[in-house]
A and B are shown apart, each in its own frame.
Chain A
Amino acid sequence: MNPYLAGIGLGVVLLAAFVLVGRGLGATGAFNSIIAWAVSSVAPEHAQSNEFIAGYLPDDGSSPLKSWLLFEVVGLFAGAMFSGLLAGRAKVTTEKGPRVSVRVRLAMAFAGGVLMAFGAAFARGCTSGQALTGGALLNLGSWAFMMMVFAGAYAVAYFVRWQWR
């Protein structure tokens, strides 16, 4: 799809979220809710005593899985799968350049995910929750964050070039 058309579509979905529920899109929060659920299931006292995790446990004692962002991310999964199947783009594969083995590429993917988690935790959101949502609301922290995402990625892109081409 033309990137500008896809952008307008995404923008309308984001606008719908603002108008309907008074919040934007997100992704990282859903991961946090699942972590909070897992930790509180295995070690409830440990979860309560950890401030970061406790922040994702509802005050009324209901399940941390009953989270808006988690429902939204489940929808994201379904919507992406629907679109991918419709376009014939869904297939089981590992995305990588020709010069790197699958094993190394997967190790890099894992490392990238770990870094992403720390970045998103410090920033209080990721590309969706901060850049997209906060960008549209003219949030100062979101704009600073967005510039830094591009800065960080461009700064190291050259050094991981072997992975992609």
Chain B
Amino acid sequence: MAMMAPFLKYGTFGEETSLVLAFLIGIGFGFFLERAGFGSARKLVSQFYLNDLAVFKVMFTAIVTAMLGVTYLGWIGWLDLSLVYLVPTYLLPQVVGGLILGVGFVVGGYCPGTSVAGTATGRIDGLVYVLGIFAGMFAFAELYPWLKGFYLSGSGEALTLPGTFGLPYGVVVFAVVLMAVGGFYGAGLLEKKFAATGE
């Protein structure tokens, strides 16, 4: 079968159409975030108090679904994975950024996508969180000359797990599926334990 996707990269349609698709894809994104209950800060932070692990379950189900999809479509030669954008790797700032973001998640109750979903469903704390992101992003930009050294520390190549550990792509995919299934089982046990002890 001839390689056809990503469609935008193969010129099936242009940039203008891709913006329309962005809006439609966004609708699907927002719909399922809200359906999962992620317009609610209390639902989201329950993940970190272990009585409702929906964040983990939804996130890893989505990752596994999309991962299996791209792997399969790549395997039958329909999707050119090398044309799918990979964020470049700057390991140290990404590790530190993850830590800061995790703290921001449980302090504020949302992450950027879910704060928009919360705002859309009337959460005032979601809206204030959005304002906080704007303020923080502006501050980051203004402080950038001083933060730049750390921000750019790392190779800047787009590294992958299979490439880094020298494992075949399929093996890593399989390992992620196993890890997710094990995680789902463990999540169920944790929920039972922490629901039983009450709040």
- Residues of A whose CB lies within 8 Å of any CB of B are 1, 3-4, 6-25, 27-28, 31-32, 34-35, 39, 50-53, 66, 68-69, 71-85, 87, 89-97, 102, 105-106, 108-157, 160-161, 163-165
Taking the closest CB of chain B, its distance from the CB of A71, in whole angstroms, is: 4
Taking the closest CB of chain B, its distance from the CB of A115, in whole angstroms, is: 3
Contact A122 B96 (CB under 8 A): yes
Contact A152 B160 (CB under 8 A): no
The range of chain B's interface size is 35 or more
Prevailing SS type, chain B contact patch: helix
B162 contact set on A, CB distance < 8 A = 138
B52: nearest residue on chain A (CB-CB)?
A3
Contact A140 B34 (CB under 8 A): no
Most chain A CB inside 10 Å of its own CB: which residue of B34, B79, B95 = B34
- Contacts A6-B58, A113-B129, A122-B97 given; indicate if A138 touches B160 (C-beta within 8 A): yes
- Contacts A3-B61, A15-B69 given; indicate if A69 touches B94 (C-beta within 8 A): no
Partner of B6, one of A8, A22, A131, A144: A22
Contact A124 B94 (CB under 8 A): yes
Contact B40 A92 (CB under 8 A): no
Cα A78 to Cα B119 in complex, Å, equals 11
A21 contact set on B, CB distance < 8 A = 6-8, 18, 21-22, 25
